[in-house]
Amino acid sequence: MKYIIINNLSIELERKKIKNMYLKILPPEGRIHITAPLRMSEDEIRKFVITKLDWIRKQQDKLAQRHSHQEMNYLTCEEIYVWGEKYCLSVVVNTGRPGIQLEGNQLRLFVKEDSTQLQRKHMVDTWYKEALVRAVPLYIEKWEGIIGVKSNSFSIRDMKTRWGTCNIRTKNICLSLQLAKKPPRCLDYVVLHELVHLLESSHNHVFKGYLDHYMPEWRNIRKEMNGAVIS
């Protein structure tokens, strides 16, 4: 991946056999990514970016605001998402065992009186991870049977900049903890995406052809997950 600097902005530049240039602002930190035709000059790319500077900054500001809203204090009445559904967090101080319970439109967090924000976050993250550990094998088994590959293992990490990774050598898949907040279709897509890497390692036209075949709506799901895109 090549990087270019324009007006003090670091921009990822990727070249492909395409006709048009695409500019993406990627969450959560607002990375700038350009996909450009192979023969397009760097001067043309720079001129294009300069015309989009206001748009880039607006999109980065939106992402920054969204990210700041997602930084929780884990207090009663905060919004919290589980599998794409919004719940009201209800913090219940008790002397019993800490735990989490979904009840109606509330996610009830049972904590000790002196629990800290970090301890509450750890509780919720652990609960998210357990939910993913239960759900992921079903999606892996489904797609392995359909596309004819076999992974060796999967893991869950609190990745902020990637939804998933696939180690081609070890056939290990790593998925973002953040997927527990998204609708199940997002987890379905990411599992498929990573397993397809066992057929094609790069994100080329062959890789996208597999996705088109197995999940024709994958672009809409990716757009839902990854924010703003212009061409």
- List beta partners, residue 9: 6
Average pLDDT of the segment spanning 178-182: 93
Locate 35 and state its tokens: 């996909």
Q: Do 50 and 108 sit in the same domain of this protein?
A: no
28: pLDDT strictly greater than 90: no
The last residue of a domain, from among 10, 39, 70: 70
Give the domain-ending residue among 70, 88, 117: 70
- Residue 228: the pLDDT is 41
Q: How many domains does the chain have?
A: 2
Q: Of residues 9 and 122, which shows the higher confidence score?
A: 122
Using a pLDDT cut of 90, give the percent of the chain over it. Answer: 70
Same domain, residue pair 87 and 161 = yes
**Residue 37 shares a structural domain with residue 109:** no
Q: What is the mean pLDDT of the chain?
A: 89
Listed residues 38, 70, 102: the one ending a domain: 70
Per-residue confidence at 8, pLDDT binned at 50, 70, 90?
confident
CA distance linking residue 4 with residue 46, whole number of Å: 9
The predicted pLDDT at position 230 comes to: 40
Looking at the fold, whether 177 and 105 belong to one and the same domain comes out as yes
Residues 23 and 86 in one domain: no
pLDDT bucket at 142, cuts 50 / 70 / 90: very high
Which amino acid belongs to residue 205? H
Q: What is the extent of the structural domain holding 122?
A: 79-230
| 189 and 85, same domain (yes or no) | yes
In terms of domains, do 134 and 22 share one? no
Domain identity same for 46 and 134: no
User: With left for phi above 0 and alpha for psi between -120 and 50, is residue 146 left, alpha or beta?
Assistant: alpha
Q: What is the β-pairing status of strands 79-82 and 85-93?
A: antiparallel
Are residue 65 and residue 97 in the same domain, yes or no? no
> Model's pTM, two decimal places?
0.70
CATH number of the domain bearing residue 116: 3.30.2010.10
* Pairwise CA distance, residues 225 & 187, whole Å: 10
